[in-house]
Amino acid sequence: KQEVTQIPAALSVPEGENLVLNCSFTDSAIYNLQWFRQDPGKGLTSLLLIQSSQREQTSGRLNASLDKSSGRSTLYIAASQPGDSATYLCAVTYAGGTSYGKLTFGQGTILTVHP
Amino acid sequence: EPEVTQTPSHQVTQMGQEVILRCVPISNHLYFYWYRQILGQKVEFLVSFYNNEISEKSEIFDDQFSVERPDGSNFTLKIRSTKLEDSAMYFCASSELGQGAGELFFGEGSRLTVL
């Protein structure tokens, strides 16, 4: 059974700092990995999608990497801002069986960026 | 930008009552999903739907749950006889591609409170 773990559970940084969020998954047979942002009481906003054949994806100040063989992904946020404060979720799509977009989520990293 | 919309944003119901949660997926998407998030827990997969039938469902998605695409735009989740433990945020999602290749886009969620 696929398990997704995110470290750290919470992170508090001063504005302007570069930071890294970690995600690990137990089964390397994945189609893709997706990073989401969730604001309190809100929905999930897709940040980046990395297909299993890719090593990284970039969007603005965000860069996500994927090392499928070791079951790890990192989300790098450059020059953090208070508006980046949110919960960041990692999710993978398992390539085995009859998976039709079934995402398995981690528990998230709660990020606080203080001015 | 196209988005997934969900109604209602919050519903309070009595235990044993039937609830219908509604979703309008992104118009050119073909794959539809329901996920839920119990307060403080991980986001969990419930069901995926393609070509007017269920593609995959989790063990959570028992006989009290059903999904339907009654017309060309809506996608609904029905909970027949609600229980206290059904209290959660329910998220609808859609993707253009299936087979794990597609990026999932989520709605803002419907918060269900069962009393």
- pLDDT value of residue A1: 83
Q: Give the chain A residue whose CA is nearest to the CA of B55.
A: A100
Contact A84, A56 (CB under 8 A): no
Contact B26, B103 (CB under 8 A): no
- pLDDT value of residue A99: 58
β partners of residue B2: none
User: Which residue of B60, B61, B104 to mutate against A (max A Cβ within 10 Å)?
Assistant: B104
Does residue B101 have a pLDDT over 80?
A: no
CA separation for the pair B49, B54 (Å, rounded): 4
- Partners of A51 on chain B (C-beta within 8 Å) are 101
Tens digits of per-residue pLDDT, A22-71?
A: 999 998 888 899 999 999 888 999 999 999 999 999 999 999 999 999 99
A10-14, A20-24, B51-55, B90-94: least confidently modelled range? B51-55
pLDDT band per the 50, 70, 90 thresholds, residue A98: low
Exposed / middle / buried, residue B35 (Cβ in 10 Å: 0-12, 13-18, 19+):
buried
- pLDDT value of residue B96: 86
- pLDDT value of residue A54: 93
Record: contact B55-A45, CB cut-off 8 A:
no
Mean pLDDT of chain B: 92
Strands B110-114 and B10-13: parallel
Which alpha helices (H) appear in B21-79, and where do they start and end? none
Q: Is the dihedral of CA B95, B100, B101, B105 positive or negative?
A: positive
- Partners of A5 on chain B (C-beta within 8 Å) are none
CA separation for the pair A74, A63 (Å, rounded): 8
Length of chain B: 115
Tens digits of per-residue pLDDT, B22-45?
A: 999 998 898 999 999 999 899 999
Tens digits of per-residue pLDDT, B41-65?
A: 999 999 999 888 998 899 999 999 9
Q: The tokens of B85 are what?
A: 């433990």
CA separation for the pair A51, A95 (Å, rounded): 11
CA separation for the pair A68, B1 (Å, rounded): 31
